[in-house]
């Protein structure tokens, strides 16, 4: 019985043209050989199983080949190539840095470098997993790596480039190997199936390629295991069972149930998945990947990003047409939040079920939000008609006349005058009015009073929206109105904030006449500045509503400010006393008095 050789070794590339998924590296190395611009040291970086050591062996074999071909490949027939293929070459040495990582191992290597090759052109050292070398070993290797003999070449390989010293990196020509694409792995597996006469479904090979995560060696190892399990016939079902991968059909069924808001079916499907031995986080990650593919199916430009078989792509396209983009984006967001919270949760099953419940009803929430937005937009477009309805509602519900207005002599004339005033106010809603004084406030209907009268939902929403705006007449923006509003705001400050009331009385703001949208306030200390900063937003909003324009307030701490002449805090009062009478400070120091500013 012949010795069994695993596919990763049996189908290992021996020429640059046979390298799978790393064509950019193969072309660069062949061009370097063709032009004779070979560096003295190479560093191959990349994930595991993507061909770093294989590329190093091909490069070493090719540059020592005695009869190199016209396309700069190794002939495979000369003594150098034959000895290398039989693992009997004296010029090509492979060293595993994981087990030979000490200073003594590197010193032994450096001693061997001193002797030129007995046959062939170069003496080549391939050091795999070079990041495993110790700090001392790296330092012992630096000089030799920087200035090796002309007949010596070093090829280093690593999966963790960040662990290598910068002094090593700067002495090497670096090649970055990338993960191998799913389609490339599938094509290579199909080629092996043809050679080995194995029947394999395309969907089954796609599962293997996805599970390999860009590593050809991992894909070939799984392929060997599956071909032994299935006795020469790879089916989609057998691959799912052997690799413990969740079937795509579950994700399609869950999505269908979510779209129809069939919560009971969704929970039952999740229970079936758990009974099969899958973890909740694996399910939620797979479901998010499913939603991502559905979303990408909606655009021809992103369709190429979906690495699936043609059969699955067709199924995704059908389900994608039934799900809206809003639904998919919201479900992706919920799934991502569930993934973040899963590890910290004590009841992990409940965490996933709660996410599924949210996904089940997210379509209704999105629809309701859209309808509400359309409703508000239609109300804005029909603004004149709504205002007239509002005027009628307020006339019906108004029980108290306008404050401080004289009693009407003629009822009909008074009603006509009131209607005219409300019409004018509606037209000049957020505009400056040519008035320099504040008009009397009008009575505004509140939500509490709506409970006594049966109104339509549209009228209640209208009154609630209008209530948020100032109902009085808009002031003309000037210094006089700013000061008047400043005093009004100060009058509403509670008695408990006596210090703030005093500050409002001592300091007055100035309007910037150039921009007319900025007022500045100069105070004498940082304490007072912080005090005004706490209420700055409230002042801005109060003045902005009354003048019908956006106003910003800037508070500046300036000791030379003219406004505040009175000391504000007890500390400031004590400092003012010391300025007038320095003996107070002397007395405090001699008696050892501690100051209590509270």
Alpha carbons 234 and 212: distance in angstroms, whole number = 16
Query: Is pLDDT larger for residue 417 or for residue 281?
Result: 281
Residue 459, pLDDT > 50, answer no
Asked whether 555 and 529 are in contact (CB, 8 A), the reply is yes
Average per-residue pLDDT in the chain? Answer: 79
Of the listed ranges 107-121, 242-256, 385-399, 557-571, the least confidently predicted one is 385-399
Residue 444, pLDDT > 60, answer no
Q: Is 291 within a domain?
A: yes
User: Domain residues for 313?
Assistant: 248-369
Q: Per-residue pLDDT averaged across 65-93, rounded?
A: 87
CATH at residue 545? 3.30.300.180
**327-375 pLDDT per residue, tens:** 999 999 999 999 999 988 999 999 999 999 999 988 776 555 555 555 5
Could you tell me the two tokens for 330? Answer: 């919201």
Nearest alpha carbon to residue 97 among 154, 151, 143, 169: 154
Residue 382, pLDDT > 60, answer no
How many CB atoms are located within 10 Å of the residue 495 CB? Answer: 6
Alpha carbons 576 and 567: distance in angstroms, whole number = 7
Q: Per-residue pLDDT averaged across 127-142, rounded?
A: 90
Q: Per-residue pLDDT averaged across 230-257, rounded?
A: 86
For 242, half-sphere exposure in the C-beta direction (CA atoms, 13 angstrom radius) is 21
**What angle do helix axes 583-591 and 570-580 make, rounded to 10 degrees?**
110
Q: Is 42 within a domain?
A: yes
CATH at residue 52? 3.40.50.300
Asked whether 564 and 529 are in contact (CB, 8 A), the reply is no
Residue 247, pLDDT > 70, answer yes
Burial of residue 189 (CB within 10 Å: 0-12, 13-18, 19+) is buried
Question: What is the per-residue pLDDT for 2?
Answer: 60
Residue 241, pLDDT > 60, answer yes
Choose the final residue of a domain: 191, 225, 243: 243
- Domain co-membership, 77 together with 146: yes
* pTM, to two decimals: 0.57
Of the listed ranges 1-5, 16-20, 563-567, 586-590, the least confidently predicted one is 563-567
Number of domains in the chain: 5
- Domain co-membership, 188 together with 232: yes
Of the listed ranges 64-68, 173-177, 456-460, the least confidently predicted one is 456-460
- Domain co-membership, 254 together with 219: no
State the first-to-last Cα distance of the chain, in angstroms, to the nearest integer.
Answer: 98
Could you tell me the two tokens for 1? Answer: 């019985």
Residue pointed to by tokens 């703030």: 500
Query: Is pLDDT larger for residue 548 or for residue 360?
Result: 360
How far does CA 496 lie from the centroid of its chain? 46
Query: Is pLDDT larger for residue 461 or for residue 206?
Result: 206
Could you tell me the two tokens for 569? Answer: 């805090």
Residue 484 sits at the vertex; the CA angle it makes with 478 and 487, to the nearest 5 degrees, is: 140
Nearest alpha carbon to residue 168 among 195, 137, 122: 137
Residue 58, pLDDT > 90, answer yes
| Beta strand pairing call for 518-523 and 510-511 | antiparallel
Alpha carbons 401 and 408: distance in angstroms, whole number = 10
Task: State the pLDDT confidence band at 394, using cuts at 50, 70 and 90.
Answer: very low
Residue 380, pLDDT > 80, answer no
- Domain co-membership, 146 together with 13: yes
Edge-to-edge order in the sheet of strand 173-176: 92-96, 123-128, 152-158, 41-45, 173-176
* Burial state string for 313-345 with b = 16 or more CB within 10 A and e = fewer than 16: eeebeebbeebeeebbebbbebbeebbeebeee
- Domain co-membership, 232 together with 320: no
Asked whether 59 and 42 are in contact (CB, 8 A), the reply is yes
Nearest alpha carbon to residue 396 among 468, 454, 462, 472: 454
What is the DSSP annotation of 504-527?
Answer: HHH---EE-TTTSSEEEEEESSHH
Residue pointed to by tokens 């505009």: 431
Q: Is 544 within a domain?
A: yes
Residue 292, pLDDT > 90, answer yes
Burial of residue 131 (CB within 10 Å: 0-12, 13-18, 19+) is buried
Task: State the pLDDT confidence band at 89, using cuts at 50, 70 and 90.
Answer: confident
What does the radius of gyration of the chain's CA atoms come to, in whole angstroms?
41
Question: What is the per-residue pLDDT for 401?
Answer: 44
Task: State the pLDDT confidence band at 449, using cuts at 50, 70 and 90.
Answer: very low
Residue 521, pLDDT > 90, answer no
- Domain co-membership, 281 together with 388: no
Q: Is 459 within a domain?
A: yes
Q: Is 520 within a domain?
A: yes
- Domain co-membership, 148 together with 109: yes
Q: Per-residue pLDDT averaged across 433-445, rounded?
A: 37
Q: Per-residue pLDDT averaged across 144-151, rounded?
A: 88
Alpha carbons 287 and 281: distance in angstroms, whole number = 10
Alpha carbons 237 and 235: distance in angstroms, whole number = 5
Of the listed ranges 252-256, 426-430, 512-516, 581-585, the least confidently predicted one is 426-430
**What angle do helix axes 103-113 and 135-146 make, rounded to 10 degrees?**
20
Residue 464, pLDDT > 50, answer no
Residue 156 sits at the vertex; the CA angle it makes with 150 and 162, to the nearest 5 degrees, is: 130
Residue 417, pLDDT > 50, answer no
Please report the beta strands in 137-277, taking only residues with DSSP state E, as ranges in sequence order: 152-158, 173-176, 199-200, 233-234
Element (H, E) at 330: helix 325-342
Choose the final residue of a domain: 243, 272, 290: 243
* 3-state DSSP assignment of residue 124: strand
Alpha carbons 483 and 90: distance in angstroms, whole number = 96
Handedness of CA 502, 504, 508, 509 (dihedral sign): positive
- Domain co-membership, 155 together with 198: no
CATH at residue 253? 1.20.272.10
Task: State the pLDDT confidence band at 156, using cuts at 50, 70 and 90.
Answer: very high
Alpha carbons 484 and 478: distance in angstroms, whole number = 10
Query: Is pLDDT larger for residue 321 or for residue 396?
Result: 321
Asked whether 335 and 291 are in contact (CB, 8 A), the reply is yes
Could you tell me the two tokens for 275? Answer: 């009974």
Question: What is the per-residue pLDDT for 452?
Answer: 41
Of the listed ranges 143-147, 184-188, 443-447, the least confidently predicted one is 443-447
Give the bridge partners for 42, in sequence order. 155, 173
Q: Per-residue pLDDT averaged across 433-454, rounded?
A: 38
Query: Is pLDDT larger for residue 165 or for residue 435?
Result: 165
- Domain co-membership, 219 together with 349: no
Q: Is 332 within a domain?
A: yes
Question: What is the per-residue pLDDT for 418?
Answer: 52
Q: Is 402 within a domain?
A: no
Element (H, E) at 416: helix 411-427
Residue 570, pLDDT > 90, answer no
Question: What is the per-residue pLDDT for 525?
Answer: 79
Could you tell me the two tokens for 481? Answer: 């109105």
Residue 64, pLDDT > 80, answer yes
Question: What is the per-residue pLDDT for 463?
Answer: 37
Q: What percent of the chain has pLDDT over 70?
A: 79
Q: Per-residue pLDDT averaged across 512-523, rounded?
A: 80
Question: What is the per-residue pLDDT for 517?
Answer: 79
Question: What is the per-residue pLDDT for 559?
Answer: 67
Choose the final residue of a domain: 156, 176, 196: 176
- Domain co-membership, 44 together with 143: yes
Task: State the pLDDT confidence band at 597, using cuts at 50, 70 and 90.
Answer: low
Q: Is 226 within a domain?
A: yes
Residue 320, pLDDT > 80, answer yes
Alpha carbons 361 and 266: distance in angstroms, whole number = 12
Asked whether 233 and 198 are in contact (CB, 8 A), the reply is yes
Question: What is the per-residue pLDDT for 493?
Answer: 85
- Domain co-membership, 130 together with 23: yes
CATH at residue 208? 1.10.8.60
Q: Per-residue pLDDT averaged across 201-218, rounded?
A: 89
Task: State the pLDDT confidence band at 471, using cuts at 50, 70 and 90.
Answer: low
Alpha carbons 238 and 40: distance in angstroms, whole number = 49
- Domain co-membership, 282 together with 188: no
Burial of residue 516 (CB within 10 Å: 0-12, 13-18, 19+) is middle
Asked whether 26 and 44 are in contact (CB, 8 A), the reply is no
Phi-psi region of 454 (alpha: psi -120 to 50; beta: other; left: phi over 0): beta
Task: State the pLDDT confidence band at 118, using cuts at 50, 70 and 90.
Answer: confident
């Amino acid at each position: 019985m012949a010795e069994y050789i695993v596919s990763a070794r049996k189908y290992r590339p021996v020429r640059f043209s046979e390298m799978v998924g790393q064509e950019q590296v193969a072309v660069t190395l062949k061009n370097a050989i063709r032009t004779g611009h070979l560096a003295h040291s190479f560093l191959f970086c990349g994930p595991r199983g993507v061909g770093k050591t294989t590329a190093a062996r091909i490069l070493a074999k090719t540059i020592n080949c005695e009869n190199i071909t016209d396309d700069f490949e190794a002939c495979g027939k000369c003594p150098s190539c034959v000895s290398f293929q039989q693992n009997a070459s004296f010029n090509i040495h492979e060293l595993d840095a994981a087990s030979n990582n000490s200073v003594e191992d590197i010193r032994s290597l450096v001693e061997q470098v001193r002797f030129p090759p007995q046959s062939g052109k170069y003496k080549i050292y391939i050091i795999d997993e070079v990041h495993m070398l110790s700090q001392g070993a790296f330092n012992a290797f630096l000089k030799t790596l920087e200035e090796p003999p002309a007949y010596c070449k070093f090829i280093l390989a690593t999966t963790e480039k960040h662990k290598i010293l910068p002094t090593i990196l700067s002495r090497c020509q670096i090649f970055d190997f990338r993960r191998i694409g799913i389609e490339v792995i599938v094509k290579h597996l199909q080629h092996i199936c043809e050679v080995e006469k194995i029947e394999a479904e395309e969907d089954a090979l796609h599962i293997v390629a996805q599970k390999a995560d860009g590593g050809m060696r991992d894909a070939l190892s799984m392929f060997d295991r599956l071909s032994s399990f299935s006795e020469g016939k790879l089916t989609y079902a057998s691959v799912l069972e052997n690799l413990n991968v969740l079937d795509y059909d579950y994700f399609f069924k869950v999505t269908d149930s979510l779209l129809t808001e069939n919560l009971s079916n969704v929970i039952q499907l999740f229970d079936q998945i758990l009974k099969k031995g899958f973890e909740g986080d694996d399910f939620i990650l797979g479901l998010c990947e499913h939603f991502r593919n559905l979303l990408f199916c909606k655009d021809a430009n992103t369709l190429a990003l979906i690495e699936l078989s043609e059969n699955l792509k067709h199924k995704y396209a059908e389900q994608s047409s039934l799900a809206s983009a809003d639904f998919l984006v919201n479900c992706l967001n919920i799934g991502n939040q569930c993934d973040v919270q899963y590890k910290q949760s004590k009841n992990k099953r409940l965490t996933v079920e709660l996410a599924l419940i949210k996904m089940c009803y997210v379509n209704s929430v999105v629809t309701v939000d859209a309808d509400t937005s359309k409703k508000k937009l239609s109300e804005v477009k029909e603004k004149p008609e709504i205002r007239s309805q509002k005027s009628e509602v307020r006339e019906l519900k108004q029980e108290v006349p306008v404050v401080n207005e004289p009693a009407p002599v003629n009822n009909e004339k008074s009603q006509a005058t009131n209607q005219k005033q409300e019409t004018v106010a509606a037209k000049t809603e957020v505009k400056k009015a040519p008035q320099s004084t504040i008009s009397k406030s009008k009575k505004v209907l509140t939500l509490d009073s709506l409970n006594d009268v049966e109104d339509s939902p549209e009228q209640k929403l209208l009154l609630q929206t209008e209530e948020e705006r100032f109902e009085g007449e808009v002031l003309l923006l000037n210094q006089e109105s700013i000061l008047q509003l400043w005093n009004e705001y100060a009058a509403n400050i509670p008695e408990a904030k006596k210090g703030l009331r005093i500050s409002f009385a001592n300091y007055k703001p100035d309007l910037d006449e150039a921009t007319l949208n900025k007022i500045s306030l100069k105070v004498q200390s940082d304490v007072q500045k912080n005090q005004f900063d706490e209420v700055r937003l409230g002042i801005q909003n109060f003045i902005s509503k009354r003048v019908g324009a956006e106003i910003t307030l800037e508070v500046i701490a300036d000791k030379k400010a003219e406004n505040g002449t009175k000391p504000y805090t007890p500390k400031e009062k004590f400092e003012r006393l010391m300025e007038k009478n320095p003996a107070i400070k002397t007395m405090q120091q001699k008696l050892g008095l501690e100051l209590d500013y509270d």
